[in-house]
Amino acid sequence: MRSVSGHRGDLESLGSVIRIVLQRLALGLLTLLIVSAVIFGAVNLLPGDFAQAVLGQSATPEAVAAIRTQLGLDQPLPVRYAGWLWDAARGDLGVSFAQANFASFTGRVDPSATVLAQIAPRFANTMFLAGVTAAIAVPLAVGLGILAALWRDTPFDKGANIATLSSISSPEFFVAYILILLLAVVNPVLPSLSNIFPGMSFGERLERTLLPALTLTLVVTAHMMRMTRAAILNLMAQPYIEMARLKGMRPLRVILRHALPNALAPIVNVVALNLAYLVTGVVVVEVVFVYPGIGQLFVDSVKLRDIPVVQACCLIFAAAYILLNLTADILSIVSNPRLRHPK
């Protein structure tokens, strides 16, 4: 990990950044590989297998054996894992149990029965929800965090502390139902159910996404705001801040000109980490608002024991989580000179 000694030109430091980033990327890929093995292994702990699950209770041993051979279930575990991984990498995530039951009567696999066909539109919806949330939450959290740092130890700061701590500690569905009660039932401003379908205009879609997005915003903003405040306050004891203050600079200007640029790295890190948290948060919120996203599909499949869909959703969530954590890691390396030149 030690960078080459001698003079450190810009080119060399750029090279070391690229090397570290590549290292992190490789590490992330390795993590994803191991995680996929864990997911595959966990599912294969199941008693019985796919063939029995598809054919149900009344299956004859011959039919089960035939399907097992056809699907390759009689092969050893590592071979099946490699096959599954190869298919998943090419976008083929298998056939949903719930859909395959219907398909088995017609004798051929319906293209809409594949896991991919079920997941793809819902994945886009979830991304839309996460995008709207991030667009509201990130500026709000950073702005409020700066204000809390500026007005620290005032009633505003103390009130914000209590409010954010309460918002972090509340379950998502509590926040969601309070918002439904206030904004959809008592004052009918927004729709309480987010029934989104293809071919909707952007404005209409946004309106129906707003309530779940607001719920997620409330949960995520609190955390981001506390971290932004802490990151800025961490710097306020630095000599150069003292200098700027003694020079007679106004407090807001001290924060915006001197503290914020240096606090940017931790703040960007926090934003990426909270987007990773959003990945988990969407599950409950989508269920509350019946939002047709991937989280709802996941929960439904868990209840139906639709293993291929559960497996695929789990892989997607884990991949998004790892990717966002990786982004946070890389951004903090790129923006921090001390990490760029590890000793």
Partner 1 sequence: MSIWLWIVTALAVIAALARAGLWAARRLSGDAPRFRDMSYGEALGYALALAAIIGGVWLWMKPGAVYFRWAVMGFAICAVAAYLFRLAGRHIGPAGLKRQFRRMPLTAAFGILVIILYAIVAIFAGWIAPHGQEAVLGAANIVPGGDPAMGGDPAFPLGTDRIGRDILSRLIYGAQNTVGLAFATTLLAFFLGGALGLLAAVVGGWLDQLLSRGVDVLMAIPSLIFALLLLTIASVWADGARGLMTLYMVLIIAVIDSTRVFRLARAVGIGIVVMDYVEAAKLRGEGMGHLVFREILPNAMAPLLAEFGLRFCFVFLTIASLSFLGVGIQPPLADWGTMVRDLAQFINFAAFAPMVALAPLLPALAIAVLTVGVNFVVDWMLHRSSGLKS
Shortest CB 316 distance to partner 1, Å: 9
Binding mask 29-68 for partner 1 (x = CB under 8 A): --xx-xx--xx--xx-xxxx--------------------
- Written as one string, the DSSP assignment of 32-67 is HHHHHHHHHHHHTTSSS-HHHHHH-TT--HHHHHHH
Among 138, 150, 222, 267, indicate the residue that binds partner 1 (CB under 8 A): 150
Give the nearer residue to partner 1 in terms of CB position, either 134 or 309.
309
- Check: CB of residue 317 under 8 Å from CB of residue 296: no
Shortest CB 322 distance to partner 1, Å: 6
Q: Is 246 in the site for partner 1 (CB under 8 A)?
A: no
Give the nearer residue to partner 1 in terms of CB position, either 245 or 340.
245
In whole angstroms, what is the distance from residue 235 CA to residue 147 CA?
A: 15
Q: Is 287 in the site for partner 1 (CB under 8 A)?
A: yes
Q: Is 189 in the site for partner 1 (CB under 8 A)?
A: yes
What torsion, rounded to 10 degrees, do the Cα atoms 197, 198, 203, 204 define? Answer: -20
In whole angstroms, what is the distance from residue 271 CA to residue 320 CA?
A: 14
- Burial letters 39-53, b for 16+ CB under 10 A, else e: bbeeeeeeeebbbbb
Q: Which two tokens stand for residue 262?
A: 């240096």
* Residues at the interface with partner 1 (CB under 8 A): 31-32, 34-35, 38-39, 42-43, 45-48, 150-152, 154-156, 162, 165-166, 168-174, 177-178, 180-182, 185-186, 189, 192, 230, 233, 250-252, 276, 279-280, 283-284, 287-288, 298-299, 301-303, 305, 307, 310-311, 313-314, 317-318, 321-322, 325
